[in-house]
Structure 1
Amino acid sequence: MPSYKVINDITKVREEPLSIRGGAVGVYTQWLVSKDDGSKYAVRRQVVKPGGKAPLHRHAYAETFIALRGGIGRMTVDNETIDIKPGMCIFVRPNAPHSIMNIGNEDLELITIISYEENMNIETLE
């Protein structure tokens, strides 16, 4: 295995719907870096379609969201609401309840980074 990985166009990486029991709708993930590459964290490109959402959930891994371009998002973390727009970075600690939705009229593009933990299960809270 080479000691590096190059992706020339991240928009061309295989896309899959976000799988959260209880229903993520209109959220798509592309795995850019993962444990399969020998990494201790994952880097993902995620696209949230207008009206799309990941329901309130929590997990044992930390998660960082970097809004790159597109629509306006709304996150709930713990009991606080954060409106997000391109250029923002939001770090969510392990086990903090959080959700995201696109309240704008265009795709919201994010880079998300997650730590790999022994327990990678997602608990849906709604």
Structure 2
Amino acid sequence: MSRTLPPHNSLLRIAKGDGEHFDIAGAKLTWKVKSDATAGRFCFFEQVLLPGDTVPLHLHAFTESFYVLVGTVTFFGMAGNGSSLQASAGDVVLAQPETFHGFGNESDEEARLLSISVPEHQRFFDAIADADREAPFAAMNREVALKQVAAIGADTGTVFAVPSGS
């Protein structure tokens, strides 16, 4: 299957603060580049992590790259030793395919990062945005919203770890 670039031959600038903004169960994200602008090759969004914000453990069949823009983000996995690592502004973290990963802001300051990924990942977020338009996550308590996100993930190739007893 061959892909062609969108019908333009110029540079595209997405200014600071511009992009498609959306929230998922409290997570604040902004699409900076969606896959239709890259002929389906990649996409990326900026995420703001307020102090205490976390993204739960999940996995998918593709690599996800994170570039920390501001602050410090703690990344964690499911290794038996409870492994985690901290990444600060300018650091890059790769989550390999089929590897449980999550991250959060354990500091007292806002953190921001870019998530660079593939169109399959965008499909998950597009499905989340569609569900949010039908039944806003902001109107749900966090536990209910996260269960909804996990169900959408199961349909789009993102699997969330479920705590014991759930």
> CA contact under 8 A between 2:59 and 2:159: conserved in structure 1?
yes
Q: What is the SS of the residue equivalent to 2:30?
A: strand
**Whole-Å separation in 2 of the counterparts to 1:30 and 1:117:** 17
> CA contact under 8 A between 2:22 and 2:30: conserved in structure 1?
yes
> CA contact under 8 A between 1:76 and 1:98: conserved in structure 2?
yes
**Whole-Å separation in 2 of the counterparts to 1:50 and 1:15:** 20
Q: Max radius of gyration: which structure? A: 2
Q: Which residue matches 1:31?
A: 31
Unaligned runs of 5+ in 2: 1-6, 124-155
Offset at 1:117? Answer: 4.3
Between structures 1 and 2, the one with greater strand share:
1
CA-to-partner distance for each residue in 1:49-102, whole Å, 9 max, x for gaps?
A: 1111110000112100110113x2211134221112112110111111000010
Equivalent residue for 1:16, pick from 9, 19, 22: 22
Higher relative contact order (CA closer than 8 Å, sequence separation 6+): 1
Q: Which residue matches 1:6?
A: 13
**Whole-Å separation in 2 of the counterparts to 1:82 and 1:51:** 16
> CA contact under 8 A between 1:66 and 1:111: conserved in structure 2?
yes
The normalised TM-score by structure 2 is: 0.63
Aligned partner of 2:12: which letter? Answer: K
Aligned partner of 1:68: which letter? Answer: L
Number of aligned residue pairs: 118
> CA contact under 8 A between 2:18 and 2:32: conserved in structure 1?
no
**Whole-Å separation in 2 of the counterparts to 1:58 and 1:42:** 18
Unaligned runs of 5+ in 1: 19-24
Q: Return 74-83 or 97-106, whichever deviates more.
A: 74-83
> CA contact under 8 A between 1:77 and 1:98: conserved in structure 2?
yes
Aligned partner of 1:69: which letter? Answer: V
Aligned partner of 1:15: which letter? Answer: H
Q: Which runs of 4+ in 1 moved over 6 A?
A: none
> CA contact under 8 A between 1:26 and 1:53: conserved in structure 2?
no
CA-to-partner distance for each residue in 1:98-123, whole Å, 9 max, x for gaps?
A: 00010011221101101234995211
Q: Which residue matches 1:40?
A: 41
